[in-house]
Each structure stands twice: as structure tokens, then as C-alpha cells.
A and B are shown apart, each in its own frame.
Chain A
Amino acid sequence: MSHRPHTRKAAEPLHEPAAEARNLAHKLGLDPYDVNYWVVDYDEMNELIAYNGFQERYPHWRWGMQYDRQQKQGQYTGGKAFEIVINDDPSHAFLQESNSLADQKAVITHVEAHSDFFAKNKWYGMFADDLDAAAMLARHADRIRGYMADPDIDREAVEQWIDSVLCLEDNIDQHEPFKRQYERAIGDDVDDADADLAERLDEMDLSDEVKRQVFDEEWLDAQEEAPADLDDPEKDVLAFLREHGKAFDAETGKAVEMEEWQTEILEMLRAESYYFAAQKVTKVMNEGWAAYWESMMMGEEAFAGDDEFVQYADHQARVLNSPGLNPYKLGKELWEYVENTENRREVVRKLLRVDGITWRNFHDTVDFDRVQDLLAADPALDSITAETVGDLESVDSKKVDTEALEAAKQGDIDVDRYPWKVLTYEGLAERHFSLCKPQNRGFLRSISQTKLEQYARYLMDDARYDSVEAALADVDYAAGWDRMREIRESHNDVTFLDSFLTPEFVTDNRYFTYEFSQTTGDYRVASTDYEDVKKKLMLQFTNFGKPTVAVYDGNYNNRNELLLGHHYNGVMLDIQQAKGTLERVFDLWGRPVNLKTIVKEVDDRDAEIARRRDREPDPEEVGKLLRYDGDEFTMEDLAWSEVEEIAATEVDYDTKPDEWLA
């Protein structure tokens, strides 16, 4: 970023909030990467957004498109771009100069939580051990710019090649750790993609004997011309094309080996796809995580000063209440649900160990108001001011940061401003125990018999406590937060939604699914059922919300043709787009390409009958083979037995009610 005095000045008031937000995040149990904050102006912000947060990307019109859209959008939102934070170690976050201090603080707290997510979520960890994304992308930019400037390479050809690869950017195996091309080939850990295989082997300094035995000529040849004999379909289509694809030479009409720049670009863009995949598969979780902790720090811990709070509330409302299915809101609510259920589990399990309380009599025996009172945080923790700070002496030392308390008493810590400084993680957990918040007061009571029984089943020591008081004194207030951190480590959006989206959530938010009606020619509400809504939601998150297409054969019909298969899950492909994509796949394969898929067909007679009955026609699922030979498309019917392997048996994402059908 260029050095400019006026943004330096703008950055000045942000030093303290940035440092303190980090301290607070640590206190709350987060463990973010270091974050470098940059203050930028509105135009720079738009530029960064266009480049997905980075300062350097390879030349491509899509960045221009994003910039254009960003600018147009800015006209509606009044030029408020809130934050960009990039997944890197250290993370980089960009703050817009013109934001108010309250907005900046909100962004900073939000960013710290994102950075924690980047550092701790395992899907991010799969890309690389030592992350330096900015450098990687800048390197790619340099390389590609170099190819474009190379007089021996046609610039247009480079651009077209990039386009072709980008059409398949989501066709990777995002659930597998990213492996560089050579690693895939030789299953080893070398780290330079540039040299070819034989060279790499030399550099590995293997003994000649090993080379002779393991990596012999035959093996090398096999790597070059690997018979694409796939036991399992290859989801990483880009990798397969990189290994076995060819370029097409329009002049001779023949497939030719890819040029070096072609394989390099393919590999670089594939790496970028893997890098960005983690963000794509955790959008709800990650945004929800950031929104949750932002709200904790800004709202509950009053990180926004009193005078800034109203502004902050306004900022938050704008983010959370944008229409449609908003990942911030969905994610935040799911996290709160995780927190509440875990805290409830903790409390309930303690209560079930009280002599005389069983899962059967739970609702009749337990005085929930009293439980609520007992759970309430120690007043000394709840309200901390310079006057009352002395009261903390009497509190369990586990909950108090004794060193900080001493400092506070000396006046070295401004307790009124940063009350959290004198507490530990445990103390903060009690101070913010979710079940004590007004909006969650009914949550404990609302537990079902089934859940109670489930919790009771494995409880051996069921009469450990004589009284409710004794039991609740033992409650681990940090249970919810601990659990949340575990989940943020291992889940992605699909598993997260699958595990934590509840019927209550669907009902409370009045979600429904809709489907297209052939008869009326518009979208109609199809179902408000929890299972259906969840299924539809999962469809939008599974595999980036895109259909799964994998390589089934690299030597289809023994003619070196490529066979792709679409995993049909009840929703068919956009055939028009599939054709467009196949044309691009042809560029990367150099020989004819095929796609097996299943489409829904309705014959005119059925459609007419359905229309007369005011019902939906029941379409027939038909196997199809779409083939493109570089010149024209053919589409032929396939027997069901030939497409059985691509048809999903377990899920069908179609939520049309049966009674709609004719």
C-alpha cells in the first residue's frame, strides 16, 4: 500500500482499538493469526474487493467486472464497504478511511474473529502448512503477466486459456488437502511446481538404486501417459486435465501437448481455486463466527464506547438484516444455538445429578426461576467499575486475572473502559453465560423429554449433589464456548447446517422451499417442512452449491475421449451452460469430450393432461450422453443401466409435494 500521510493520520486513533481487540479476543479464548491493518480510501477499497482482497492478481477482465459491480453497488449503499480481511498468515485487513470510529471498531473485532477462524478451521489448514497467499497470488500475477508480454505467446490465447480453466474452477476436490501437481504424481513432499518430473527426481537426491527400482523409465513413462483408468471418479477435474489433457491445435485439427505456459497457468489457477475453496465452504460458519464475536466484544463487552453504541447497533442491524438468506444472520443464529444447547446440556446434566431429580420428573421438580437466579453471574463479575473492582477479591481466583487486578488497583488499567482486563476466560464465560441472557430465559425449560432421557442415559453418578445449589455451583460456564471452538475447528457449512439447523430455527425464521411449476409457469411455495427446507438449504451449500461433475474415464470407448459424469441428485443440469462448459473443456482436453447426465423430460401429452387437471406433470428421468467433438454437439439417450452409477440414490433435492403431481 502506498505511503500516504493522511491515511496515517486516519490510522492513528485505530492503534489502540486494534491492540485491545486482540487482547480481548485472546481473553475470550480465540487464537487469531496476527493481523496487519491497513487504512485505505474508498477507491482503493473497491479495487481490493475486485481483487478478492489482494493487491495483485493476474490480468483478467473478471476483476474489472467485479470492480464495475462494486462501484455500481456503492452507489446504492452510499459507498460503505465495511471490511476486507484476507486469509493469510499474518492476516491482512483493510479499513475504509471514511468509516466512523464505531464502524472501525466493529470491523476490527469482526476481523479478529475471522482471523481466528482462518487459523483454526481445518479446511483452511488443508491448503498449506505455511500460508503466504499474498505472495503466491502476486507470483502468479507476475508469471501470467510475463506470458502475456512474451512475444512468442499470443496474448489472446493466454486470456482464452485462463477463461477455459476458470470455467472449471469449482471442479476440484475441495474436501481433500491441496496437493501440487508433482505431489500428486509422485506422492512426495517437494515444493517447487516449476521443474518437470525427472528434474525433480534428480533434485530429491535419491540413491540410484531407489531411482532404478521405484522411479524407473517405465514408471516415468507411465506418469507421462498414465492410462486414465479410474477406479473412482476423479473430482479434481483440473488436476486430471493437467495430467492427461492436451491442447487443441486449430490449424492441424489435432491434439498437441500443452505448452509449458498452458500447464503452468492451469496449475496456478488450480492452486488459487484450492486456496479460495476454504472460504467458499465455510461462508456461513465463518461469517456467523465473526458476527457472534463482534457482537460479544462490541455489544456485551462495550468495546464500542457509550457514545458509539447506537451507531454500532445500526451498523449491526444493517449487516444482519439484509434480505434473503443472509450468511451473517444464519451463521450467527446457528452459533448461538450451539452455545445455548451446550450450556443447557451442561446445566441439565448437573441438575440430573441432584438427588431426587430424574429425567422423568425434571420439568415438575425443577424450579426454573430459582435455577435462573442461581446461574446468574456473580455481581462482582457482572458489573465492574473502578469503584467495585475491589469486590473481585472475594471471587474465585480462577475467574480473576490477579495480576491485572493488582494493576487496576494501582490505576494502571482503566477498568471503566476495559473491565474485561481483570477477568480470566472463566470469569468472562460466567459474565456472559448465554442462558442468563433475557432472550434465552425460556431455553432451559424448553428441553424435551427425549433430550433429557438421552442426557440421563449415560449418567452414572446420578445422586452426587444434595441440592440444586451445590449442583449449579459446579456448572462449567465455559462449556458453550469450549464446544463452539471445537466445532469451528472441524466443521464446514454443510456439516454445520446438517448438525445444527433445527426445526425451531426453520419455523422461527419462516423459511419455506419453492419449486418451479410447469403448469403455472412460475415458482410456487412447495414446502414449509423442516426436512425439506434443510434439504434445499444443503443443496445450496453442498459442493459450492454447484452440481458435482467428475471424470469417469480418460480413454472413453478406447478413443482417448474424456468422459465426465454428473452426479444426479434430483436436480438436473443447466444444459445450455453445460454445453458452453464442454466447449471449454475441449480446449483443455484437445480431443472429443463427453458428459453423462440425467435430464427430466415431460412429453407434451402429459404436460397437457397435467395442465387440464391443474397439476404438475411427472417428468421422466432419462440418461443422456452429451458429446462435443470440437465442432458440434450430439446428444443421445442412454439406457438407465449406463447412468445408474451417476444417479444418487440417497438424497433427492426435489421438494415438490407429491400431491402436485398429475
Chain B
Amino acid sequence: MGLREDLERYREVGEEKREDLADFIQYGDLGQSLPDEIRIPIKIVDLPEFAYDRLDKGGIGQGDPDVGDPVGQPQPQPGDDGDDGDEPGEEGGDHDYYEMDPEEFAQELDDELGLDLEPKGKEVIEEKEGDFTDMTRSGPDSTLDFERMFKEGLKRKLAMDFDPEYVKEALKIEGWGPDRAFEWAREENINVSKHWLDEQYDAIPADERTTWASIDEMQENTRHRSAAQKIKEEGIRHVPFRREDERYRYPEIVEEREKNVVVVNIRDVSGSMREQKRELVERTFTPLDWYLTGKYDNAEFVYIAHDAEAWEVERDEFFGIRSGGGTKISSAYELAAAILDERYPWAEWNRYVFAAGDSENSRNDTSENVIPKMEEIPANLHAYVETQPDGKAINATHAEEVDEHFGDSEAVAVSYVNGPDDVTDAIYEILSTEAE
């Protein structure tokens, strides 16, 4: 019926209407997502229409609040949905979300930005069963390779079967008898028993026992069918199954290296990091977190906030913190080094160390402390994200110094985010830098 087509067409249209991933990262509402479920808005009302400004329109609610109280999420309004359904409980609402898990997110971001970061396996954590491709001679019935057993049986049958009519004719050669015939059969590789020949010989009337004068005469006048021909003509009556043909499938042992990653997010929370700068950091770090979560089997995150000192915080607080104080970026790297050494040994963990701030730092801290620390901490990648929405401050040179020192190093990325437009470029810059 037509509706199926309509539904398919809607799915196609819906796919097109999903907010572009890059747009979403740069401008979208990241807050609707959870660490393991990224929610990208889809415009449900796909066709535009002349409508009231949502904010300016206001609405009607039900309850007993006082004037001036916040109302939370607007309640469904009758005008929200001008449709003609007669069913109760029609829902309004402007957005639906396209939900993707971090794996899909990473995949899409790869496609969108042309990345191909291949996560490295570290420690061997287990020997896992792979596909059932190995064989043993014993095992549970359910793993018996019946096909193989049948084939072996069939081969055996082909090798052993013989044409009884043909062998019987040999018994009719003058002067042969069972003993001579048995010898002959052996020579011819016909698997016949002496006992069978005796029986057959007894059954042949005496006058027929001299039908042929010689073996040559017999062979000229009878047809000898091979086992294969006989099976073709008469069908197969049974295939002998033998214990020695039984094989059981057995899983291949695969050495699994778990792809562990730890991401250290460092953020300058000092007084100069105003709202807008903070938001840019969040916009850059959050997709990086999702991406790496999607790429690795096991991702852990460490959040370090710093001004002149550094301390570890939970994710919930990380983007909101604002403190007074000066700035000493090396304090964060010292803490990062300590945490990584203690909890995330380099032999077992992939490490990413991302720092962000407005490039302001204490005098000489960058060259004397931060750069040596960055060189000292083994990691897949170090990155610094400079957020300077209002243009450059004169003493804000941290990013430049780092950039200059490491140059085109594959282990260090520096990127500049001055507005939401720069976010995806920064993400690309960072993720495409990692050393092979």
C-alpha cells in the first residue's frame, strides 16, 4: 500500500533533515546528550510555515504558581499541533532526536572530516575464542562437523563399493571358483570378502559356473561399472559413518588486546577564562571525548582544572568551574603526569592529553616547565587548544611557544578556536595529528 512508500520516503527525508554533524558540534545543543548516547536534533516540523516566534508567543499553563515563578518546560498547547487527528493525547513538540552511540558518532565524524584514526591495542587482556575454525576429534555433539563426516563417509564408500554383478561373473569363469576370484579381486582392488564370494558361488547353478572360458572372455562380454557409476544409476543406499571420521569444530584462540584509552582533559579555569571561552572549550572537548569513547573499547577520562594550581575534578563540574588566581599551566601537567603514572601505565593505556585555555601563562612557565613535561609524558597525543574569542592578548603566547617548539611533531597538536566556526577544524587538526 502507498503508506509503505510514504514511510520509506519519510525515512529518507528524515535522514536528510538530521542536523549536520559539523553544525551540531559547532552550534548545536550538546547538553541533551549523555556520555554514551549522542542526541542530534532532527527537525520534526520539516516544512516551514508562517509561525509565531516560540519565545515571544508564551503560553498557558495549569497550576498554582505565583507570577514571576519559572514554569520549566512549556506544557503542550492546543495550537502547537494544528493537525486533524481525532485521537487524544496527540503530542506536540518541535524536536525529535536522532540518537547515536559513540561508535556511530566516531564513524560519522571520520566520514565527515575524513579522519581515519586507528586505535592501538595495548595489553593482552584475554585469550578469546574466535570463530569455530579449528578441529578436534572429540567434543560436544553440537559442534560435530557433520558435513565433513558425510564427505569422508562418501569417499570411503566410493573407495570400497564394488559392482556385485560384475564380480559374480568372475565366479562363472571355468575353473576359477571363490579362491581364484578372491585373488583376482585383490589384484583389481575390489573390496570384496571371501565369505561373500563363497556364498555367491554356492548360489550359482552348476551349469553356469562354466559360462566363461577365460577372464578375457568374461571382461569382453560384461559391463563393469565403477562405484561412482553405480551410485549414479542405483542411488546410494547408505553412507557408512565411522567414528574415525568424526571431527568436532573448535574455536580458534585469538589473542585479544584491549584498546584502552585514557583522555586527560585539562582546562584553565583562571579569572581570564570568561563564559565564551569556557563554552568553546566545552564544544571542542566534548566531541573529542565522544569520538575517543567510540573508537576505543574502554575509555576513561581524567579532568584537571587549574589556575596557578591544579586539581582533579568530576566531569559535571569541569566545564562550569571558575576561579580567581593566576595561571600556571605546568601545575596541570605535573598532576597529569602523577595520575597517569599511578593509574594508567603507558604499557597498558593509550593516552591523550588535551589542554585548553587562553594561552596566558606565568612568565617562562611554558618553556621551562610545560614543554619539558610534555616531552616527558609519553602519550599518543598532546594537544593544546587556544580559545581567544576576542582576539589575542599580548602576553598570551603559550600556544605559539608550544607550536614553535614541537613544530610538525606528530605527537603534539596545537589549534586555535576563536569562535564556534573553528571547532570542527580544531577537532580535525587534533585527531589527524596522532603519530602512527
Q: Is the CB of B75 within 8 A of A323?
A: yes
- The chain A residue with its CB closest to the CB of B10 is A64
Surface stretch bound by B, among A44-52, A186-194, A636-644: A44-52
Whether B82 and A280, one on each chain, are in contact in the complex, defined by CB atoms closer than 8 angstroms, is yes
The reply to whether A62 and B10 form a contact with Cβ atoms under 8 Å apart is yes
Contact A325 B88 (CB under 8 A): no
**B57 at the A interface (CB under 8 A):** yes
Name the CB-closest residue of B to A506.
B60
Contact of A514 with B91 in the complex, beta carbons under 8 Å? no
Across the interface, do A170 and B82 meet the contact criterion of CB distance under 8 Å?
Answer: yes
Interface contact B69-A279, CB-CB below 8 Å: no
**B75 closest partner in A (C-beta):** A324
What 1/0 mask marks residues of chain A from 43 to 63 whose CB sits below 8 Å from any chain B CB?
Answer: 000010111110011011111
User: Closest Cβ of chain B: how far from A166's Cβ, in Å?
Assistant: 6
Q: Is the interface of B mostly helix, strand, loop or mixed?
A: loop
- Complex CA gap A529/B207 in Å reads 127
Set A515, A539, A546: member contacting B51, Cβ < 8 A: A546
A171, closest chain B residue (CB): B50
Among the listed B2, B62, B86, which residue makes an inter-chain contact with A59, where contact means beta carbons less than 8 Å apart?
B2
Q: Which residue of B lies closest to A564 (CB)?
A: B50
Distance in Å from the Cβ of B320 to the closest Cβ of chain A?
16
Complex-state Cα separation, A142 to B170, whole angstroms: 83
| Interface-facing stretch out of B41-49, B112-120, B148-156, B175-183 | B41-49
Smallest CB–CB gap between A345 and chain B, Å? Answer: 29
- List of A residues within 8 angstroms of B8 by Cβ: 64
Q: How far is the CA of A50 from the CA of B13 in the complex (A)?
A: 17
The CA-CA distance from A640 to B82 in the complex, in Å, is 32
| CB–CB B2/A514 < 8 A | no
- Interface assignment of B234: CB less than 8 Å from any CB of chain A: no
- Collect the chain B residues with CB atoms within 8 Å of residue A544's CB: 79, 82
Which chain B residues numbered 1 to 44 have a C-beta less than 8 Å away from chain A?
1-3, 5-14, 44
Known: A60-B6, A323-B75. A525 touches B61 (CB 8 A): yes
Nearest Cβ distance between residue B49 and chain A, in whole angstroms?
A: 6
- Chain A residue with the shortest CB-CB distance to B58: A515
Question: A-B pairs with CB below 8 Å: how many?
Answer: 232
Given A516-B55, A571-B53, verify A325-B60 contact (CB < 8 Å). yes
Within 8 Å of chain A (Cβ to Cβ): is B391? no
Nearest CB of chain A from residue B393's CB, rounded to whole Å: 23
Most buried by A among B7, B13, B60, B77: B60
CA of A77 to CA of B84 in the docked complex: distance in angstroms? 19
Would A572 and B53 count as touching, CB distance under 8 A?
Answer: yes
> Known interface pairs A73-B89, A580-B48. Does A573 touch B84 (Cβ–Cβ under 8 Å)?
no
Is B70 an interface residue, CB under 8 A from the partner?
yes
Tell whether B164 is near chain A: CB-to-CB under 8 Å: no
The CA-CA distance from A516 to B56 in the complex, in Å, is 6
Task: Determine whether the beta carbon of A574 is less than 8 Å from that of B84.
Answer: no
For residue A464, CB closer than 8 A to chain B, the reply is no
Q: Is the CB of B52 within 8 A of A84?
A: no
B6–A63 contact, CB under 8 A?
Answer: yes
CB pair B70 A520 closer than 8 Å: yes
B residues near A167, Cβ cutoff 8 Å: 47-49
A514-B61, A600-B56 known; A522-B70 Cβ under 8 A = yes
Q: How many residues of B contact A (CB 8 A)?
A: 57
Over the window 518-533 of chain A, the binary record of Cβ atoms lying under 8 Å from chain B Cβ atoms (1 yes, 0 no) is 0010111111100001
* Contact call A82/B78, Cβ cutoff below 8 A: no
- CB <8 Å contact, B58 and A536: yes
Measured between alpha carbons, how far is A522 from B66 in the docked complex, in Å?
15
Q: How far is the CA of A660 from the CA of B82 in the complex (A)?
A: 32
Chain B residue with Cβ nearest A523: B71
Give how many A residues have a beta carbon under 8 Å from the other chain's beta carbons.
97
Chain A: which residue is nearest B54 at the CB level?
A: A574
How many Å from the CB of A75 to the closest CB on chain B?
12
Rounded to whole angstroms, the CA-CA distance of A84 and B61 in the bound complex is 28
**Complex Cα distance A326/B87, Å?**
11
**Chain A CB within 8 A of B76 CB:** yes
A-side contacts of B64, CB under 8 Å: 510
Q: A584 contacts which chain B residues (CB < 8 A)? A: 47-48
Q: Residue A549 at the B interface, CB < 8 A?
A: yes
CA distance A84 to B14 in the complex (A): 27
B394 part of interface (Cβ distance < 8 Å):
no
**Complex Cα spacing A328 to B86, Å:** 10
B235 on the interface (CB 8 Å rule)? no
Question: A77 — nearest CB in chain B belongs to which residue?
Answer: B89
Cβ B49 vs Cβ A524 within 8 A: no
Is residue A81 contacting chain B, with contact meaning CB distance below 8 A? yes
Say whether A577 contacts B58, CB under 8 Å.
no
Decide if B68 touches A525 in the complex (CB within 8 Å): yes
B140 at the A interface (CB under 8 A): no
**A51→B52 contact, CB < 8 A:** no
Chain A residues, Cβ within 8 Å of B87? 49, 81-84
- A573 near B53 with CB under 8 A, answer yes
Query: Is B85 an interface position by the 8 A CB rule?
Result: yes
Q: How far is the CA of A53 from the CA of B84 in the complex (A)?
A: 9
**B79, A539: Cβ atoms under 8 Å?**
yes
> What is the bound-complex CA distance between A575 and B55, given in angstroms?
12
Q: Is the CB of B67 within 8 A of A528?
A: yes
Tell me the bound Cα distance from A584 to B50 in angstroms: 11
Report the bound CA distance from A577 to B50 in whole Å: 6
B60 and A514 contact, CB distance less than 8 A: yes
Residues on the B chain within 8 Å of A69, using CB:
91
Residues of B within 8 A of A49 (CB): 85, 87
Q: Are B58 and A516 in contact (CB under 8 A)?
A: yes
B74 at the interface (CB under 8 A from A): yes
Q: Would you call B325 an interface residue if the criterion is a C-beta within 8 Å of the partner chain's C-beta atoms? A: no
Most chain B CB inside 10 Å of its own CB: which residue of A167, A516, A581, A584: A516
Could you say which of A53, A322, A514, A547 contacts B74, with CB atoms under 8 Å apart? A514
- What is the bound-complex CA distance between A60 and B85, given in angstroms? 17
10 interchain residue pairs of minimum CB distance: A545-B79, A580-B48, A64-B10, A540-B79, A64-B6, A64-B7, A324-B76, A516-B55, A61-B10, A61-B9
What 13 additional pairs, Cβ within 8 angstroms, besides A47-B1, A77-B89, A283-B78? Answer: A52-B84, A64-B6, A163-B47, A280-B82, A318-B88, A322-B88, A512-B67, A523-B74, A524-B71, A525-B71, A541-B78, A581-B48, A654-B56
28 pairs from A and B in contact (CB 8 Å cutoff) = A52-B84, A53-B86, A60-B9, A62-B10, A65-B46, A68-B11, A77-B89, A84-B86, A85-B86, A170-B82, A283-B78, A325-B78, A511-B60, A512-B65, A514-B60, A524-B71, A525-B65, A525-B69, A525-B70, A540-B78, A545-B77, A546-B50, A546-B51, A546-B52, A549-B50, A571-B56, A573-B50, A660-B68
